[in-house]
Chain A
Amino acid sequence: MKHLYTWTAILLVTVASVVGDVLLSHAMKQVGDVHHLWRRVGVWAIVARVLSNRNFFLGIFAMALAFFSLLFALSWGDVSLVSPAASSLTFIGTAFAAKIFLHEKVDRRRWIAALLVAAGVALLAG
């Protein structure tokens, strides 16, 4: 029963994180490179830009969901299982989501990285 709770929470963390990551990444690409904007318009203009972005808040909402799911998962499982499992499953899901929704060029190098991390997760969970 404890395992079921833990893995359900991990799955919930994963889905919410993938959605949140994609939305936040999209939002920050809309805002633009922070390092250049910082020099050009200053930090408050950047904050204003971020805070007026709708995708940012949708992403925050998804991340908040992921965060509270993580709190549940952490209270039932070891941190060295829960956190890597959720984060790395998120990584795999994100590779697909980034390719589909953000149109990122996920080349062979990045897929191999995804597989290595996936294998690493399997071992961490076992």
Chain B
Amino acid sequence: MTFRKYLVLAGVTVFSAVGDSMLSYGMKQAGNISLHHLGSVIVAVFNPWIAVGIVFLLAFFAAYMNALSWADLTYVLPATSLGYVLLALIARFMLHEQVSLLRWLGIALISGGVSFVAGGPALTPHKHEEQSQTPESEAAGVTEIAGSGDPYQGMPSGVPYPSVKSAPSGAESSTDE
């Protein structure tokens, strides 16, 4: 785990909490949506709070995709659930919702769960090895991908491993950087 990866996880946490809060605030302004007037969901998107909330959730999504590319789903989800604590703070102090003692206790338990999973490895070995690569195995993986059936190896300019493509196998030297 590098500092940059922790930063990505922090981004997932913060963007999701702030985004959800903005959506909640906006939806309270927009009023209840009736099942008979589904079109009002579309109108709600033009509420500025909801619009900015959506921007935050897009940022969350980018960070989330980033994290999922190098960590297990069962690591990313709990590791970023500290967002609930943030969410409760926002709900309490900015949206002025009631956060009872029991809810605070629930938040404490969730935080406990986070600390449990955060102590373990981010990526566990999978039964089916996809292209999920540790730094050490990546060079070998790249050769493998380029050698066999990767749909991207035919892509033109600037996209992956042109030198590897022509080489048969054991072309580690050409992938060194």
Contacts and interface: CB of A to CB of B under 8 A. Distances in A.
A119 B24 contact: no
A72 interface: yes
Interface in A33-64: 33-37, 40-42, 45, 48-50, 52
Interface string A63-85: 00001101110111011101110
A109 interface: yes
A120 B113 contact: yes
Interface residues of A, number: 66
B128 to A, nearest CB: 6
Contacts of A42: 158
Contacts of A75: 27-28, 30-33
Contact of A80 (B44, B88, B109): B88
B81 A78 contact: no
Nearest to B126: A103
Given A91-B77, A103-B127, A124-B107, A74 B155 contact: no
A55 B51 CA distance: 27
Nearest to B72: A104
Contact of A45 (B20, B44, B158): B158
Interface string A89-126: 01100110011001111110110111111011111101
Contacts, number: 208
Main secondary structure of the interface of A (DSSP, over half): helix
Nearest to A56: B65
Contacts of A107: 120, 124
B117 A98 contact: no
Nearest to B151: A52
B130 A50 contact: no
Given A36-B135, A79-B97, A98-B73, A91 B78 contact: yes
Contact of B109 (A35, A41, A117): A117
A31 interface: yes
B81 A91 contact: yes
Given A45-B158, A71-B27, A123-B102, A80 B132 contact: no
20 contacts: A21-B77, A24-B64, A24-B65, A24-B68, A28-B68, A28-B69, A34-B70, A35-B69, A36-B135, A42-B158, A45-B158, A79-B20, A79-B87, A80-B88, A88-B81, A103-B128, A104-B72, A105-B126, A113-B116, A120-B110
Interface of B: 2, 4-5, 20-21, 23-24, 27-28, 30-33, 41, 44, 57, 64-66, 68-70, 72-78, 81, 83-84, 87-88, 91-92, 95, 97-99, 102-103, 105-110, 112-114, 116-117, 119-120, 124-128, 130-133, 135, 138, 141-142, 151-152, 155, 158-160, 177
Given A29-B132, A87-B81, 12 more contacts: A29-B68, A31-B69, A32-B131, A45-B152, A71-B41, A72-B41, A75-B30, A88-B84, A91-B78, A113-B116, A120-B113, A124-B103
